[in-house]
Amino acid sequence: MLHLPGAPVNLARLGARSGCPISLALLAALVAPLSAHAQSPRKIIDQVDRLMRGEASIARFTMDIRTENWDRSLMLRAWSLGTEHALIRVETPQKEAGTATLRANQEVWNYLPRVDRTIKVPSSMMMGSWMGSHFTNDDLVKESRLVEDYEIEIAFEGERDGADVWEFVLVPLPEAPVVWGKIRYEVRKADLMPTWARYYDESDELIRTMTFSEVRLMGSRLVPTVVTLESADKPGETTVVRYHELDFDVDLDEDYFSLRNLRRER
């Protein structure tokens, strides 16, 4: 599923094949030849969406979280299958190693090695922070079907900062179960890499900005390897995701994403 490159809303994807960078990768690899001139933005995305399904990935990335009160850095490993399944495990810091989050069957579970328990994250906590980052649990679980939930239009087309770009504006369809009032998205025409995404609430106020950078070949695909998330109401606070390894050529099936596997440390 995918939505515009960069399903920024979806953490699972951040580390996953279906993750934002990856969608981008796909966009680049598969869509570019279609030539966007001939296609509506919606169509391009839809096409990529279908291509994305069922693919698996394994990633290793760091998450650097900077807040007013503390800074911390997590090394994480993530497995994903399509958009339905994801498993993320903390590797360092040592104190939290083994702490893991599983997303399967529309539910989010956490495994806490310290107490050796798995707990289901209740729906009331979906907007809560994931591991202290600026991502929410909802980011993790939400299948942001941008194509299905949003009306997508080109708001700008032309040169910006020396690059030929599109700026898409995504407005949710009336009945769409989404939390955003609007999303703005900028994509580079040359390689179909996203540069940023901005998320607004219903009163058109900017809530957060996601920036994509350091486009590199990883796992034989071109992806932005750094994703920076900033909350508009907490200036100076950021969560930076940096990919170190990304592998699309993996064999995972749904059984892998089980509570039993969630508990298995490493």
Partner 1 sequence: MDDRWIWWSLAWRNLWRNRRRTFITASALAFGYLASVTMIGLWSGMLTEMIETGTNLVTGQLQIHAPDYYPERSMYTTLGGRDGIDVDELVRIARETPGIVAASPRVYGGGLVSSGSETVAGMFVGVDPDREVEVTRLLETPAEGRAPRAGEREILIGRDMADLLDVELGAEVVLVAPASDGSLGNDLYRVSGIFATGMAGLDRSFGILPIRSLQELMAMPEDRIHEVAAAVEDPFAAPALGDSLAAALSARGLGYPVLPRPWTVFRAELAEYASLAGAVNGIVVGIVFVMAVFGVANTMLLGTFERRREFAVIRALGTRPGSVALTVVYEGLILGILALAAGALISWPVLYWLHNYPPDLSNMFGDFTMSGTVVRPVLRAEYSLDGPIVSGIALLITSILSALYPAYRAVKILPADALADI
How far is C-alpha 111 from the chain's CA centre? Answer: 21
Q: Which is nearer to partner 1, 54 or 122 (CB)?
A: 122
Residue 117 in the binding site for partner 1 (CB under 8 A) = yes
Longest dimension (CA), the chain: 56
Question: Residues 132 to 191: which contact partner 1 by CB under 8 A?
Answer: 132
Report the Cα 30 to chain-centroid distance in Å. Answer: 19
User: Residue from 125, 127, 154, 155 that binds partner 1 (CB under 8 A)?
Assistant: 125
Query: Does 233 interact with partner 1 (rule: CB under 8 A)?
Result: no
According to the binding rule CB under 8 A, does residue 223 interact with partner 1?
A: no
- Residue pointed to by tokens 């809530």: 207
Asked if 203 is part of the footprint of partner 1 (rule: CB under 8 A), the reply reads no
* Interface pick for partner 1 out of 35, 69, 94, 106 (rule CB under 8 A): 69
- Helix (H), strand (E) at residue 43: helix 41-52
Per the CB < 8 A criterion, the answer to whether 143 and 149 are in contact is: no
Cβ-proximal residues to 154 (8 Å cutoff; 6+ apart), any chain: 41, 166, 167, 168, 169
68 touches partner 1 by CB under 8 A: yes
Residue of the chain from 10, 47, 80, 99 that contacts partner 1 (CB under 8 A): 99
Residue 122 as a binder of partner 1 (CB under 8 A): the answer is: yes
CA nearest neighbour of 9 among 110, 142, 101: 142
One residue of 50, 53, 120, 244 binding partner 1 per CB under 8 A: 120
Part of the chain binding partner 1 (CB under 8 A), chosen from 17-25, 121-129, 200-208, 245-253: 121-129
Asked if 127 is part of the footprint of partner 1 (rule: CB under 8 A), the reply reads: no
Helices (H) and strands (E) in the chain, counts: 6, 13
Closest CB to partner 1 among residues 129, 213: 129
The one segment of 3-11, 124-132, 196-204, 250-258 that binds partner 1 by CB under 8 A: 124-132
Q: How far apart are CA 41 and CA 47, in angstroms?
A: 10
Q: Which of 199, 193, 185 is nearest to 163 (CA)?
A: 193
Residues that bind partner 1 (CB under 8 A): 65, 67-72, 95-96, 99, 110, 112, 114-115, 117, 119-122, 124-125, 128-129, 131-132
